[in-house]
Amino acid sequence: MPELPEVELVVRSLQSLTVGRQIVRAEVLRPKLTPGVSSAEFKKLLEGRLIERVSRRGKYIVTTLDENTTLMTHLRMSGRFGYLPTDRALPKFTHAIFHLDNEMRLIFSDQRHSGMMKVVRTNEM
């Protein structure tokens, strides 16, 4: 499991790469990544949202989006984010893909299948 400094490094990287970008399309390739929410609902909640801020709350990565929406991510043991152009092959254990408005993809991969994502309305936090 990543320690806090490692999670902070991920947060800083995501902040510099994604803040101000819009999620054009979201795909969940492993439904268990988003417990309690179907892949279709996850997609509906995220598509078109503008990424306003990326921060950390404990070991959770908190991505604040417009319209009072927040994406909470826990890397668990082996989760990681990648930032890839559309012509690059996806990593083997890709579980979610966020297509951004700059022709790049933010991908979430997890070799051990234990990572978790949850979309919440800001007023539910």
Query: 4-124 is classed in which CATH architecture?
Result: Alpha-Beta Barrel (3.20)
Alpha-carbon distance 69 to 124, whole Å? 10
pLDDT digits (tens, 9 = 90+) for 63-99: 999 999 999 999 999 999 999 999 999 999 999 999 9
The predicted pLDDT at position 95 comes to 98
Q: pLDDT band at residue 121, thresholds of 50, 70 and 90?
A: confident
According to the model, what pLDDT value does residue 48 have? Answer: 98
Rounded to a whole number, what is the distance in angstroms from the first to the last CA of the chain? 24
Closest CA to 64 of 120, 24, 26, 4: 120
| Cα angle 25, 74, 124; round to 5 | 75
Q: Where are the domains of the chain?
A: 4-124
